[in-house]
Amino acid sequence: MKLRLVFLFLTFPFLLSAQTKKHKKKPVHHTIAPKTAMQEFYSSRKLSPDSAATPYLYYQVYDWIGTGYKYSGETRKGIDCSGFVSEMYKKVYCIPLSGGSRDIWTVVSPVEKNELKEGDILFFKIKKGQISHVGIYLGNNKFAHASVHSGVIVSDLDEEYYKRSFFKGGRMGAGKSNAEKAKAIAGNEKAIEKKIAANPQKKTGGSAAAKTTDDKLAVKKSANKKAADNQQKKTTGTTAGAKSTEKSTAAPKPAAPVQKPAAKKPAAKPADNKVKLENTGAKKADTKK
């Protein structure tokens, strides 16, 4: 009897564990694939990622939907319109874009509204008649962009606000070779560098950047040359002043006497000569008498 009790005591935990495993239900995972949610999002806007030329563009746009707007932002914490377009082009097409909406306009080829294709960049003139907003075209008149009030969203070009402010589409590579695109992008980056260099106080927080050694040498040479020129001017001025003083203190020379021209006697006329001869002859006759 004691042996049976010991046996039951030893085997009871194993029997209980086996019974529990038998009746234990496997958990059912009711997970919804992200692709399904994305398809529902786009289907409600009459878009289909499966039929897109570049489905990865749709995946990237959907991944950023709901991100808040932040001026000059480029992260999940906040992004602006040009930052969003640049992010899409970098991730989807491996094409670097930099600068604002007007800078991006300089590196694309213009495309009319009726010729838009998936991936084209859309430009809007909202502020003061200048390009001030960009988005990326998805198809069926829909485009993704970072709105100031709503963040990253998908909108329709037929909406009155965007219909009124739409300017043109832009296409990377349309009519341009890869070398031309690279040159345009490099020029865009140089233009931005020039803007930064033109405002060094903004970059350094109010203090001008230190001059290089070459600049210091050039300034020093210029200062030395200027000092030498000033010294030469002073020396020249002193010499000229001394000469002027000598001239003013010297005794004036006496003026030479003015000689009057001798008066010319008028030539004797023939009649006068005859009278003189007659008078002389008369005087001689009187003397003889």
Residue 169, exposed/middle/buried by CB under 10 A (0-12, 13-18, 19+)? buried
Contact 195, 203 (CB under 8 A): no
Rounded CA separation 57/80 (Å): 18
Residue-wise pLDDT tens digits, 259-270: 555 555 555 555
**Tokens read off for 289:** 């008498």
State the catalytic residue, choosing from 29, 30, 94, 133: 133
Domains and CATH numbers, the chain: 34-201 (3.90.1720.10)
pLDDT attached to residue 7: 60
Asked if 94 is an active-site residue, the reply is no
Residue-wise pLDDT tens digits, 16-56: 665 555 444 444 444 444 568 899 999 999 999 988 999 99
State the catalytic residue, choosing from 23, 29, 30, 81: 81
Residue-wise pLDDT tens digits, 218-257: 555 566 666 667 666 655 555 555 455 545 445 455 555 5
Contact 141, 156 (CB under 8 A): yes
Contact 140, 46 (CB under 8 A): yes
DSSP string, 196-217: HHH-HHHHHTSSPPPPPHHHHH
Q: Residue 145 CB: number of other CB atoms within 10 A?
A: 25
Can you tell me the mean pLDDT for 203-208? 38
Rounded CA separation 185/106 (Å): 9
State the catalytic residue, choosing from 30, 94, 145, 149: 145
Which residue in the block uniquely carries the two structure tokens 């000059």? 72
Asked if 30 is an active-site residue, the reply is no
Which residue in the block uniquely carries the two structure tokens 């230190």? 210
Asked if 133 is an active-site residue, the reply is yes
Residue-wise pLDDT tens digits, 102-153: 999 999 999 999 999 999 999 999 988 899 999 999 999 999 999 999 999 9
pLDDT attached to residue 156: 97
CA angle 109, 194, 174 (to 5 degrees): 10
Strand partners, 154: 144
